[in-house]
Structure 1
């Protein structure tokens, strides 16, 4: 359905450091392109960088970008790496009450305030 998802960054180096750590914990490697970086995994593409229009980057209120984790341990590592690299906790790792099935996830805010999460689902 999507070719990619892109979020803006006011300090690209700070945001790239955050995403390298948080997504790296999920086994997702980035490709740094100066003021932007792209992360590709299993056919999905995610980018972060300075807005092309020169305006300040802002976050979307109510939006969340979810990344798939292969294990609960990856969710924990994603959360810890994000918090240690400029992000803030927006939901500690754990079972998500109200979510269908056996979902385990964690939420972070990146340095700009974009809300991201990692989820593992028992099969």
Structure 2
């Protein structure tokens, strides 16, 4: 349905450290440095961050959330801990999430520029 997800950043070097840690916790590899940001490819998806092309400050979506898949509760916990250790802020601690017909475990963070991100595992499929 989509080719990639891209968010803006204000400090590419610090943002790369943050996302390298998060994707490492999910079993991914460090991002490809573009000079103005980085790109990650993992489990069929692509995610990147960059300095805004228009030179304006990076901003986050109001109401937007980007979700990343995990394969275990331990992976979600490690993802959340990696985010906090690298400057992210907690938007929802790891734990069960209720959704009709689904048995989910997830966690939410804000990245260094305020983008809301989450990691989830479907416990019925793990």
**Is TM > 0.5 for Structure 1 vs Structure 2?**
yes
Q: Which runs of 5+ in 1 are unaligned?
A: none
CA distance in 2, matches of 1:98, 1:26: 23
| Most deviating of 99-108 and 78-87 | 99-108
CA distance in 1, matches of 2:53, 2:107: 30
TM-superposition CA deviations, 1:24-77 (whole Å, max 9, x none):
100122212222100101221000111111110000010000000011110000
State the secondary structure of the residue aligned to 1:90: strand
Q: Which runs of 5+ in 2 are unaligned?
A: none
- 2:119 corresponds in structure 1 to 118
| Number of residues of Structure 1 aligned to a counterpart in Structure 2 | 123
- 1:106 corresponds in structure 2 to 107
Query: After TM superposition, where is structure 1 displaced by more than 4 Å over at least 4 residues in a row?
Result: none
State the secondary structure of the residue aligned to 1:15: helix
Q: What TM-score do you get using the length of structure 2 for normalisation?
A: 0.93
CA distance in 1, matches of 2:73, 2:44: 22
Query: Structure 1 residue 8 and structure 2 residue 8: aligned?
Result: yes
State the secondary structure of the residue aligned to 1:3: coil
Change (3 A) 1:36 1:97: same
Query: Structure 1 residue 49 and structure 2 residue 38: aligned?
Result: no
| Most deviating of 105-114 and 24-33 | 24-33
- 2:33 corresponds in structure 1 to 32
- 2:18 corresponds in structure 1 to 18
